[in-house]
């Protein structure tokens, strides 16, 4: 254990670098933290965060206990200095500011150790796909085809979307969040402004059909450059939704399965298409409409039927969510190749919401 005096000698700034992040990642105000600690005022906590003062050993231990981190985490530099630039929050305007901040800081703390692992196994990460300008349906279709091409995905459905992204350097985080949060896409950079990777954050414990659509939706935000008039509007969200459909269900694959024109389509066929492409029934119908396989009128009839059955939010015959596998493999590789000790890995992930997952990997528990 590092003596408190040694940690204290490192200076105020190093204490505050993690302290504020940890508090905000829990969705706590200074007052909330003061109430939990019990014998430190809000004003004194503010001084700790700004580096104007350092806590005594007893206070430091209490803070670490309340924040549920090792005490040395409060005095350590972050695993990696990164900048996360969000490219699109859906339904985020309805969230309380504290919840929005909690999500942002939780994601930042989780990405820091992941970036360290990426730098070990894939030093000098590959170039990100170039941004693609879009102004309508044809451009969106071309953008989805471009990403499939540069990632060598071919034209068939993607069996495991999360693994597909992780194999191409995209960090995928599954987060416990407010029901009004669906997902966000992030460009992760170092402090010099060099882009390191893309990250996609989606809500944990949703069915695979909705999860996959959310992930592909955020990819659309990351890849596409929309006109200034559409930025931050419902139109930009529509572009991203259409991209998700085009990416998950390429036009040629849809035409092979469904044909170019349909006057009718039965529920049993829609359920087969939903399983084949890994999309919700509603998303499949939207894709058929976008490709003009079905008419506006027929889509409206089906849309009403989905509402009547309660299938706009609850998916029929839903499948369990996909899981991220990259982190598990990376931790196992660190241990197998003796790159880091178990203690060093625990320290690396001490502030991350993925700490328990990493601990289970170190303990040899199966997924």
For residue 234, how many other CB atoms are within 10 A of its CB?
Answer: 8
* Residue 187 placed within a domain: yes
**Cα dist from 113 to 78, 83, 122, 331, whole Å:** 9, 13, 14, 11
pLDDT at position 365, please? 74
Alpha-carbon gap, residue 362 to 19, rounded angstroms: 26
Residues 125 and 62 in one domain: no
Largest CA distance in the chain: 77
Name 145's Cβ contacts closer than 8 Å, sequence gap at least 6: 246, 250
Q: What is the pTM of this model?
A: 0.90
Whole-angstrom distance between the N-terminal and C-terminal Cα of the chain?
31
- pLDDT value of residue 93: 57
Label residue 42 left, alpha or beta by phi (over 0 means left) and psi (-120 to 50 means alpha): alpha
The predicted pLDDT at position 11 comes to: 44
Q: Do 331 and 285 reside in the same domain of the chain?
A: no
Residue 62 lies in a domain: yes
- Domain co-membership, 352 together with 243: no
Q: Are residues 181 and 268 in the same domain?
A: yes
Q: What is the pLDDT at residue 53?
A: 87
| Residue 367 is assigned to a structural domain of this protein | no
265 and 238 housed in the same domain: yes
**DSSP symbols for 303-366:** HHHHHHHTTTTS-TT--PPP---HHHHHHHHHHHTTSS-HHHHHHHTTTSTTHHHHHHHHTT--
Residues 148 and 296 in one domain: yes
Whether 335 is in a domain gets the answer yes
Domain that includes residue 349, residue range: 326-362
Domain assignment present for residue 87? The answer is no
Q: Tell me, yes or no, whether 123 and 243 share the same domain.
A: yes
Sequence-ordered list of residues with C-beta below 8 angstroms from that of 65, at least 6 positions apart, any chain = none
Angle at CA of residue 202, ends 196 and 206, nearest 5°: 155
- 52 in any annotated domain: yes
Q: Which of 77, 103, 128 corresponds to the end of one domain? A: 77
Do 54 and 159 sit in the same domain of this protein? no
Contacts of 15 (CB under 8 A, 6+ apart): 7, 48, 51, 54, 55, 74, 75
Last residue of a domain, one of 62, 77, 92: 77
| CATH assignment at residue 45 | 1.10.260.40
- Residue 104 CA from chain centroid, whole number: 10
Predicted local confidence at residue 182, as pLDDT: 84
Please state, in angstroms and rounded to a whole number, the distance separating the CA atoms of residues 140 and 220. Answer: 9
Question: Do 218 and 131 share a structural domain?
Answer: yes
Spatial distance between the Cα atoms of 303 and 136, rounded to a whole number of angstroms: 23
Same domain for 336 and 286 = no
Last residue of a domain, one of 14, 47, 77: 77
Length of the chain: 367
Same domain, 140 and 61: no
Instruction: Answer yes or no: is 114 within a domain.
Output: no
Report pLDDT for 96.
79
Claim to verify: residue 199 and residue 293 sit in the same structural domain: yes
Residue whose entry in the numeric block shows the structure tokens 């693994």: 163
Residue 159 in any domain: the answer is: yes
pLDDT averages per 10-residue partition of the chain, 367 residues: 49 64 91 93 91 89 93 86 76 71 91 93 74 95 97 96 95 87 90 91 92 96 93 90 97 97 95 96 97 97 94 89 93 94 94 94 80
Count CB atoms within 10 A of the CB of residue 23. 24
- Number of separate domains in the chain: 3
């Amino acid at each position: 254990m590092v003596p408190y005096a040694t940690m204290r000698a490192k200076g105020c700034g190093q204490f505050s670098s993690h302290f504020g992040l940890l508090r905000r990642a829990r969705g706590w105000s200074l007052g909330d933290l003061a109430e939990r600690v019990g014998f430190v005022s809000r004003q004194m906590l503010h001084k700790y965060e700004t580096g104007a003062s350092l806590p005594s050993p007893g206070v430091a231990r209490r803070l670490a206990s309340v924040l549920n981190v090792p005490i040395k985490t409060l005095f350590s530099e972050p695993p990696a200095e990164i900048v996360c630039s969000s490219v699109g929050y859906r339904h985020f305007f309805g969230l309380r500011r504290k919840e929005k901040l909690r999500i942002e800081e939780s994601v930042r703390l989780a990405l820091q150790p992941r970036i360290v692992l990426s730098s070990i196994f894939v030093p000098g990460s590959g170039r990100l796909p170039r941004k693609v300008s879009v102004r309508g349906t044809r451009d969106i279709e071309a953008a989805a085809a471009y990403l499939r091409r540069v990632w060598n995905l071919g034209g068939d459905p993607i069996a495991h979307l999360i693994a597909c992204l992780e194999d191409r350097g995209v960090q995928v985080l599954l987060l416990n969040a407010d029901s009004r949060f669906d997902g966000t896409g992030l460009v992760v950079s170092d402090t010099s402004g060099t882009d390191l990777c893309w990250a996609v954050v989606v809500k944990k414990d949703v069915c695979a059909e909705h999860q996959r659509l959310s992930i592909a939706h955020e990819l659309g935000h990351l890849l596409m450059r929309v006109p200034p008039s559409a930025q931050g509007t419902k139109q930009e969200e529509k572009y991203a939704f259409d991209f998700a459909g085009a990416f998950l269900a390429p036009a040629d694959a849809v035409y092979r399965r469904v044909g170019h024109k349909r006057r009718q389509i039965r529920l049993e066929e829609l359920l087969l298409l939903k399983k084949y492409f890994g999309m919700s029934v509603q998303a499949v119908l939207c894709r058929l409409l976008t490709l003009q396989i079905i008419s506006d009128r027929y889509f409206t009839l089906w849309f009403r039927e989905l509402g009547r059955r309660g299938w706009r939010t609850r998916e029929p015959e839903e499948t369990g969510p996909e899981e991220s596998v990259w982190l598990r493999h990376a931790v196992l590789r660190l241990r197998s190749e003796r790159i880091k000790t178990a203690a060093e890995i625990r320290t690396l992930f001490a502030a991350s919401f993925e700490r328990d997952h990493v601990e289970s990997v170190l303990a040899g528990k199966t997924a």
